[in-house]
Structures are given as structure tokens and as C-alpha cells.
Structure 1
Amino acid sequence: MVSKAVGNAVVRNRVRRRLRHLIREHLAVLPDSGVLVVRALPAAAEADSSLLGEDLAHCLRRVLR
């Protein structure tokens, strides 16, 4: 779920789809148990995919330590 603070429905769905696509690259390193929650901040609406990917990878590295 992406908060309404990110933008209107079109923007929220675009951010959701981009994050879903980016997380697929990291599924192999994630543990099978547990739940992963990714919170999209309003700046995600203007961020390009490479920046979102870098931020996601950085966060996952911190979580998996």
C-alpha cells in the first residue's frame, strides 16, 4: 500500500508497480520467513527507477545485516 501523501491514484499505482518490479531482483537474498514492508515516501513520486533501486538496495543491506 502506498500512502495518499505520495500522490493521486495514478502516481501511487506507478510507484507501487516500480517498487514491485525492483524488489524482484532481491527476492533471492531475502529470508523465506517474515514480512517485508516497504514504505514509499512522497519523494518516491518524482524519483527515477535507478534512484528507487539504489535506495531499496541500501535499505535491504541494512535490514539483512
Structure 2
Amino acid sequence: MLPASARLRKSSDISAVMKSGTRFSAKLVVLHVAHGSSEQSKVAFAVGKNVGNSVIRHRVTRQLRHAISPLLPALPSGSHIVVRALPGAGTASFSQLSENLNFVLAKANKS
């Protein structure tokens, strides 16, 4: 579980990150990154109906949340991040999701 202070909650903030943020993509996830005004990094997840039914969407969200929680201290401070799952994420294993997430985070840290 992500701490409450590390969650990006307002839909206006999430849509702003998705519209104006930099996008990094992999096979299963797309990462939208924007620099916010807060000192701590904040993360949100977007898992649409194209991923699967409700059970699958919630499972993917839990897996992504679990994969990113140990990486929070390594994220650039003040960054707002939206992790968007692509349709293949519904059938992917946790290790595949985790590898994809690590890959896009590495791409984001390089830029």
C-alpha cells in the first residue's frame, strides 16, 4: 500500500500530468511524468476497461502499486507520476509488469 502522502488523488491533477507530462512507454505500461509543486513524489494508476473486467483491473492495480512502492525513495523529488496500464497488462505476470515498470522508470530517470 502506498502511503497517503505519496498518492496523487485529484482527477484534475491526474489529467494535468497526462496532458502536459512527458510520456515513457513499454509493452505493458505507459508512464506520464510531470514536475509538481510538492516536495514528495506522488503516484496514481490508470487501468482502463480495455485491460479486462473489474477483477483483473484491480489485480493489475494492486500489482503495479506493489511494484512501485519500494521504488518511491528513488523517484525524483516533487515528481507527479501516472502509471497507465495497457491492454496486455491483464494477462501479464507480476514479474513482467514489474520489469516493464522498472524499464520505463529507468527511461524517465535518464531524461
Length-normalised TM-score, structure 1? 0.93
Partners in 1 of 2:98 and 2:61 — Cα distance? 13
Length-normalised TM-score, structure 2? 0.56
- Out of 91, 101, 105, the position equivalent to 1:60 is 105
| Structure 1 vs Structure 2 CA RMSD | 0.8
Structure holding more strand per residue: 2
Q: Report the identity percentage.
A: 46
- Out of 29, 38, 44, the position equivalent to 2:89 is 44
Number of aligned positions between the proteins: 65
Partners in 2 of 1:40 and 1:46 — Cα distance? 11
What stretches of structure 2 of length at least 5 have no aligned partner?
A: 1-45
Partners in 2 of 1:34 and 1:57 — Cα distance? 16
Which residue pairs with 1:14 in the alignment?
59
Structure holding more helix per residue: 1
Deviation at 1:25, TM superposition (A): 1.9
